[in-house]
Chains A and B, each alone.
Chain A
Amino acid sequence: TSDRSQTSNTSSAAAASARPPLKIHSTAIVSERAVLTGSHPITIGERAVIHPFAHLRAEGGSVTISEYCTVDETAVVGLPAGESGDILLEKAVAVHSGAVVMGSRVGEGSEIGVKACIGKGAVVGQYATVAAAEAVEDRGEVGDFEVVFGGGRRRVDGLSKGSEDWRELRITSQRKMCKALESLVPDGGMKWRG
């Protein structure tokens, strides 16, 4: 991966001393170049993967990331200072690059697409999909199995809703992603656990 900028090393040194309280599972992978800010607790579950330059922002409230979640580079999870509220990503949630998740909850198995924006206090249900560059307004709601696409349009994914096997496949696929990333993305080691 290429260097983001010259100043990132110094700012992360400063952030290391003002680091949020961290509770990271031993099997989770938090890249050394991930950005964890704020004063509220951050909890990262089993086998979750926080990519380099992903930003966990526990400035307005705590951030809880459950098992098998992935947060891609430049995605932001959490509220900025000035807002208040906790964020919970349930198991096997994929947050893709550039997305901003400020909602209070993302249900299990859901997928937040590239550059999508989940507004403050919004709730995303289970096995939902927010497509690339879509936006969910503040305090909005995405139901279970719902797909947000095409500039705010909604539809219900009948396949996820009707088939338990299909839902399990989504979870399995996310677990396989975590497994593949385990050997490709190095953990930050003592930076986060020391």
Chain B
Amino acid sequence: MAGVILRGDLHRKPELSADGERNDKTVITAITIGRGCVISTGCILHPPSRISKDQMAFFPIRIYDNVFIGPDTHISAGTIGANCHIGAGSVLSPFSIIKENCKLLPGTVVSHSMIIPPGCIVGGKPARILGEVGDGWGHGGGGEGEEWVEGGDLKRLVKAIK
């Protein structure tokens, strides 16, 4: 949506191969976003960085399918699994890993390198596991007047956003 900042310029530099020639076949993708993802207004995707082989290097952000990211969220996570729902104003610190089917409440701050197991409801600063998403996570969309549910297929929501 509007006002999203994707720092695709922050990527790992390609390594020179043994004979000094740049290996042009290596494609470094800074940010990968799956199908049906919705990234709301004001979000920032800023690839995480750490020292690797004595230099500061950036690592990719990988977001899987049907992830809903609420407005004004900051993402430096390494991975966000499929069908997650990230609440507004959250902060996903560098190298955090959110496994699939999680729900992050608004304002959650996930700490550096934190790993959130699949199917958790998470909130707070720092993020704490508050519960589990029910068996119905992602099911139930397509009812009367209801286009999408959290954790469900977001294709229709994506189409609805002009």
Contacts and interface: CB of A to CB of B under 8 A. Distances in A.
Interface string A165-182: 000000001001101110
B5 A53 contact: yes
A10 interface: no
B74 A115 contact: yes
A5 B3 contact: yes
Interface residues of B: mostly helix, strand, loop or mixed? Answer: loop
B125 A151 contact: yes
A98 B89 CA distance: 11
Contact of A179 (B55, B89, B93, B109): B55
B8 interface: yes
A1 B5 contact: yes
Contacts of A114: 74, 76, 91, 93
B5 A73 contact: yes
Contact of A176 (B8, B56, B93): B56
A108 B44 CA distance: 26
A98 B2 contact: no
Interface residues of A: mostly helix, strand, loop or mixed? Answer: loop
A78 B156 CA distance: 43
Interface residues of A, number: 28
A115 B72 CA distance: 10
Contact of B109 (A72, A133, A184): A133
A2 B7 CA distance: 8
A183 B28 CA distance: 15
B22 to A, nearest CB: 13
Contacts of B93: 114, 132
26 contacts: A1-B7, A1-B9, A2-B5, A4-B5, A5-B3, A72-B46, A73-B7, A73-B46, A74-B44, A97-B46, A98-B44, A114-B91, A115-B74, A131-B109, A132-B74, A132-B109, A149-B126, A150-B126, A176-B51, A180-B49, A180-B57, A180-B58, A184-B11, A184-B13, A185-B9, A185-B10
Interface of A: 1-2, 4-5, 52-53, 72-74, 97-98, 114-115, 131-133, 149-151, 173, 176-177, 179-181, 183-185
Interface of B: 2-11, 13, 44, 46, 49, 51, 55-58, 74, 76, 89, 91, 93, 107, 109, 125-126
